[in-house]
Amino acid sequence: MVDASPHIQIINDTEGKPLFVVMPYRQYLSQQGKGHLIPGRVVDLIIEGLTPIRAWREYLNLTQEAAAERLGISQSAFAQQESVKKPRRATRARIAKALASTSGNWSCKTG
């Protein structure tokens, strides 16, 4: 078992991959129905080493070209933004809006 924070625990399977998350019940209740939970697949991709922006793009099944088009920038410019481990809040918000998500879900805390 690996502690993600003092109040949240991650329980891994026999291969060392995250299987369950244990959190205080009040925290769980406070997160229900608020639309700010991050999909498990996005979390898995971040744990595997992808940047948060790339994880969301892949989760949404978008190519870099498609994401760049939504932002009105070139694919190479998007690739640069996607490679940043901790993008600025304004960058996250702009990309989240373009990809029809909420910037509150675009956490950059990866460890």
Q: What is the DSSP string of 69-90?
A: HHHTS-HHHHHHHHT-SS--HH
For 32-69, how does the pLDDT look when each residue is reduced to its tens digit (9 = 90+)? 765 567 888 999 999 999 999 999 999 999 999 999 99
> What tokens were used for 62?
């978008």
What is the C-alpha to C-alpha distance for residues 7 and 21, in angstroms, rounded to an integer? 11
Confidence of residue 15 (pLDDT cuts 50, 70, 90): very high
What is the C-alpha to C-alpha distance for residues 110 and 97, in angstroms, rounded to an integer? 21
The letter for the amino acid at 53 is I
List, in order of start, the domains of the chain with CATH numbers. Answer: 1-34 (no CATH), 38-111 (1.10.260)
C-alpha separations of 26 from 7, 38, 75 in Å: 11, 18, 43
High-pLDDT (> 70) share of the chain, %: 81
pLDDT at 100 over 90: no
